[in-house]
Structure 1
Amino acid sequence: MIRVYENEDITKFYVEFRPRFQQCVVERVLKFCNEHQENDNQDLIVDVACGSGQATSAFQKHFKRILGIDVSPNQIKQARSANEHDNIKYEVGTAENIPLEESSVDLLVSATACHRFDLGKFFTEAKRVMKPNGCMALFCYNAPIIIPKNVKDPAKRQELSDKTTSLLLKYDYFVNDEQSNVSYHCKYQDIFNKVSAENKQWITEGLVMKCEWNLVQLMGYFRSVAAYHEYMKMMKEEHKDASEEEVKEWDHAVLLRDFVKREWEMEGVKDEDVMMEAHFHVYMVLANKLK
């Protein structure tokens, strides 16, 4: 398992600025479960690599017991501090060593994470802990489509959306491991192909989470990405004597903010008053009865 979301700086941004998974995603997962399981098979769900609980809590109303596990003690600390539900627990654990008994899990999920797993070991472990007719849902999203709210002209709004989203994708692409790049660009098709199950589906269309954001939230989301911190660490090591102003010249979060304000003609507006929509297109791999 590639470990990148562990340090405290990342986890603080992660818990505050990562979007929580919306009910459209939950409903699509449960629809698959209901098609292949008895409807009352909603006892235990485990969220593998749960982070600070963005997906874990979304299933709260649908299962009697929910366990979120993550390799990072900092992420688990954040998840526990934000947890308001008695049926949700969080523990430190890995995708390759899930702390549950054999044949105990009705649904295993993993959000924005499985592209970093040792997939062979993970699938073996998933099969061990899942019930014989258990289901698995692996889902993710790439950088969001950003749509300015202050621009009334549809053509201009589309132009600015395209430019802003392209820049965000360019900055978001800085990822150290080849597996993540492949999985992002093919929307988990590579992972779907590796899943051995009696029933499986690959979904790439029709699931969109829409968030009302301001520029502070966009920058916070960007700074919650591990690749951003890796890039900043590398640049600071290369430019040890750089001044604060010089750092801003290659800080992608600052450059993104300056681009938005300039291109959207909002340079005199406070960051929190620059409003936008962020559309996250979710893709997923669904499987039942792993082989």
Structure 2
Amino acid sequence: MIRVYENEDITKFYVKFRPKFQECLVERVLKFCNERQENDNQDLMVDVACGSGQATSAFQKHFKRIVGIDVSPNQIKEARLANEHDNIKYEVGTAENIPLGESSVDLLISATACHRFDLGKFFTEAKRVMKPDGCMALFSYNAPTIIPKNIKDPARRQVLSDKTTSLLLKYDKSYKYEQSNVYQEDKYRDIFKKVCAENKQWITEDLVMKCEWNLVQMMGFLHSLAAYHEYMKIMKEEHKDASEEEVKKWDRAVLLRDFVKREWEMEGVKDEDVMMEAHFYVYMVLANKLK
């Protein structure tokens, strides 16, 4: 398992600025489960690599008990601080050693994480903890499409949407995450192929989560990404003597912020009034009765 969200600075951005998973996704997962499980199996759900609980809490009203586990003590700390529900608890644990008993889990989920697991060990462990007719949902998203909110001209709005989205996508891939990047680029197609189950589905359309962002929220999301921090780490190692001004020239967050401020200002929009919608397109692997 690749460990990328250990740093306390990143986890504070993560809990505050990562999008919460919305009801449309929860409904799609539960529909799959309800059509394939003989009983009303909504006793125990586990969220593997739960982060600070964005997906965990989305299922709160649908299960009697929910356990979120994450390898990062800092993520678990933030999840516990944000938790408002008695039926959810968070524990430190890994995808390859889930701290639950055999055949105990009705639904196992993992959001924006399984591309970093040792998948062979994870699937073995998932089969161990899941009930014989249990379900699994693995889902993620890539960088969002940006839709400017307060740009009046449609043509200009489209240009800014394309340029802002493009800048948000421009992260140099770290060699460490080469395989996980491949899994995300093909929207979990290869992970779907690796899943051995009696029933499974691969969903790449129709699931869109929409968030409203101001400039601060856009920057916060950017700083919550491991890819951004890895890129900055590599660049600083390669340019150890760079001045603060030189760093700004290749700091993706600064470049994106300055672009948005400049372009929105040309449309008469002040920094504090910048608004946009971020559209996250979710892809998902659903499975029932692992083999």
TM-score, normalised by the number of residues in structure 2: 0.96
- Whether contact under 8 Å (2:210, 2:277) holds in the other structure is yes
CA distance, structure 2, for counterparts of residue 140 and residue 266 of structure 1: 35
Q: Which moved more, 1:144-153 or 1:267-276?
A: 267-276
2:54 is aligned with 1:54: yes
Equivalenced residue count is: 291
Which residue of structure 2 lines up, in the alignment, with residue 227 of structure 1?
227
Q: Deviations along 1:52-81, whole A, 9 cap, x unmatched?
A: 001000000000000000000000000001
**1:171 positional shift:** 2.6
Distance in 2 between the 1:231 and 1:290 partners?
Answer: 37
Note if contact 1:46-1:67 (Cα within 8 Å) is conserved in structure 2: yes
RMSD (Å), alpha carbons? 1.6
Amino acid at match of 1:72: S
Q: Which position in structure 2 is the counterpart of 1:150? A: 150
Partners of 1:176 and 1:227 within 8 A in 2: no
The answer on 1:208 being equivalent to 2:201 is no
Equivalent pair of 2:15/2:52 in contact (CA under 8 Å): yes
Kept in 2: contact 1:143–1:172 (CA 8 A): no
Please report the TM-score for the alignment, with normalisation by the length of structure 1.
0.96
Measure, in 1, the Cα distance between the counterparts of 2:269 and 2:244.
23
Match of 1:113 in 2: 113
Answer yes or no: is 1:246 the counterpart of 2:261.
no
Gapped regions of structure 2 (runs ≥ 5)? none
Residue 173 of structure 1 and its aligned partner are, at CA, apart by: 5.0
Q: Which amino acid aligns with 2:177?
A: D
Equivalent residue, structure 1, for 2:84: 84
Q: Check the 8 A contact 2:264/2:274 in 1, yes or no.
A: no
- For residues 246-278 of structure 1, the C-alpha deviation after alignment (integer angstroms, 9 at most, x for no partner) is 221111101001111223335985544210000
- Specify the code of the residue in structure 2 equivalent to 1:153: D
Q: % of aligned pairs identical?
A: 87
Instruction: Specify the SS of the correspondent of 1:233.
Output: helix
User: Which sits farther off after the overlay, 265-274 or 77-86?
Assistant: 265-274
For 1:152 and 1:39, the matched residues in 2 are separated by 52
Shift of residue 38 of structure 1? 3.5
- Amino acid across the alignment from 1:196: C
Amino acid at match of 2:81: S
Aligned twin of 2:45 = 45
2:113 alignment partner AA: A
2:139 corresponds to which letter in structure 1? F
* Contact 1:45–1:106, Cα closer than 8 Å, also in 2: yes
Q: 1:105 to 1:96 in 2, by over 3 A?
A: same
In the alignment, the residues of structure 2 paired with residue 37 and residue 138 of structure 1 have an alpha-carbon distance, to the nearest angstrom, of: 18
21 and 219 in structure 1: CA distance in 2 versus 1, 3 angstrom threshold: same
Residue in 2 that maps onto 1:25: 25
Aligned pairs for 1:163-174 (under 5 A) are 163-171=163-171, 173=173
* Per-residue CA distance 1:181-212 (angstroms, 9 max, x = gap): 21111100000000000000000000000111
Unaligned runs of 5+ in 1: none
Between the aligned partners of 1:129 and 1:17, the Cα distance in structure 2 is 31
> Contact between 1:146 and 1:161, CA under 8 Å: does it hold in 2?
yes
- Asked whether the equivalents of residues 261 and 267 of structure 1 are also in contact (C-alpha less than 8 Å), the reply is no
Shift of 1:18: 0.3
Instruction: In structure 1, give the amino acid aligned to 2:225.
Output: V
